[in-house]
Amino acid sequence: MTKRNFASLDDVRIEKDKSRRQISQEVATLKEDVADGIIAPETFFMRSSNRFMNYVGYAMSAYKALKKAQGLMGSFFKKR
């Protein structure tokens, strides 16, 4: 991973604001896609270019898979 050399603190603030705007724009686009039914809610975060948001998406998918497995296993072992 390379580190950027900033000339001043203002450059850092500008870069930070630019990143925030990009993330909020991506989230707005993804929200519209989910609302329109173009993509599933589980893939909402995984389509972002932000790594943290990707991890959230992976966690959501893993949780959904876990719940589905629990439901399947529960139906096999129901007490009668």
Question: How many other C-beta atoms can be found within 10 angstroms of the C-beta atom of residue 45?
Answer: 20
CA 17 to chain centre: 20
Q: What is the pLDDT of residues 21-61, one digit of tens each?
A: 887 887 777 777 767 766 666 676 666 677 777 777 778 77
Helices (H), 1-80: 9-36, 51-76
Most confident range, picked from 3-12, 42-51, 71-80: 3-12
Question: For residues 49 and 16, what is the distance between their CA atoms, to the nearest angstrom?
Answer: 15
pLDDT of residue 10: 85
- Residue 42 DSSP class: G
pLDDT of residue 4: 66
Measured in Å, how far apart are the chain's first and last C-alpha atoms?
58
